[in-house]
Amino acid sequence: MQHLDETLLRDLPSFRALEPLAVREILSHAHSRRIEAGHSVFEEGAEAETFFLLLDGHIRVERISREGDRVIPLHIPPGQLFGIAAALGRDTYPATAVAAAECIVLCWPMRLWDSFVETYPGFGREANKMVGHRVGEMNARIMELATQHVEQRVASAILRLSQQNGRQTDTGVEIPFPLTRRQISEMTGSTLHTVSRLLSAWERDGILTSERKHIRVHEPTRLADLAQDTKPAA
Q: At what angle do helices 150-165 and 121-147 cross, to 10 degrees?
A: 150
Residues 135 and 168 placed together within one structural domain of the fold: no
Residues 27 and 45 placed together within one structural domain of the fold: yes
Full 3-state SS string of the chain: CCCCCHHHCCCCCCCCCCCHHHHHHHHCCCEEEEECCCCEEECCCCECCEEEEEEECCEEEEEECCCCCEEEEEEECCCCEECCHHHHCCCECCCEEEECCCEEEEEEEHHHHHHHHHHCHHHHHHHHHHHHHHHHHHHHHHHHHHHCCHHHHHHHHHHHHHHHHCEEECCEEECCCCCCHHHHHHHHCCCHHHHHHHHHHHHHCCCEEEECCEEEECCHHHHHHHHCCCCCCC
Residues 110 and 47 placed together within one structural domain of the fold: yes
Give the pLDDT of residue 61: 95
Half-sphere exposure of 94 (CA within 13 A, CB side): 14
CA-to-CA distance for 5 and 27, rounded, in angstroms? 9
- Position 234 in a domain: no
Give the pLDDT of residue 91: 96
Residues 201 and 213 placed together within one structural domain of the fold: yes
Residues 128 and 30 placed together within one structural domain of the fold: yes
How many Cβ atoms are within 10 Å of 182's Cβ, its own excluded?
14
CA-to-CA distance for 161 and 98, rounded, in angstroms? 16
Residues 156 and 70 placed together within one structural domain of the fold: no
Give the pLDDT of residue 232: 43
Residue 197: CATH number of its domain: 2.60.120.10
Residues 134 and 30 placed together within one structural domain of the fold: yes
Give the pLDDT of residue 45: 95
- Position 1 in a domain: no
Residues 13 and 111 placed together within one structural domain of the fold: yes
Last residue of a domain, one of 112, 145, 178: 145
Last residue of a domain, one of 99, 123, 145: 145
Residues 167 and 129 placed together within one structural domain of the fold: no
- Position 190 in a domain: yes
CA-to-CA distance for 97 and 171, rounded, in angstroms? 31
Give the pLDDT of residue 234: 42
Residues 12 and 102 placed together within one structural domain of the fold: yes
Tens-digit pLDDT profile for the chain (234 aa)?
446 677 778 888 889 889 989 999 999 999 999 999 999 999 999 999 999 999 999 999 999 888 888 999 999 999 999 999 999 999 999 999 999 999 999 999 999 999 999 999 899 898 889 889 888 888 888 888 888 999 999 999 999 999 988 999 998 999 999 999 999 999 999 999 999 999 999 999 999 999 888 999 999 999 999 999 755 444
Q: Give the residue from 91, 16, 27 showing the smallest Cα distance to 83.
A: 91
Give the pLDDT of residue 3: 61
Q: How many domains does the chain have?
A: 2
Q: Give the residue from 89, 134, 105 showing the smallest Cα distance to 36.
A: 105
Residues 76 and 167 placed together within one structural domain of the fold: no
Whole-model pTM: value is 0.86
Determine the structural domain holding residue 36 and report its residue range. Answer: 6-145
Residues 175 and 78 placed together within one structural domain of the fold: no
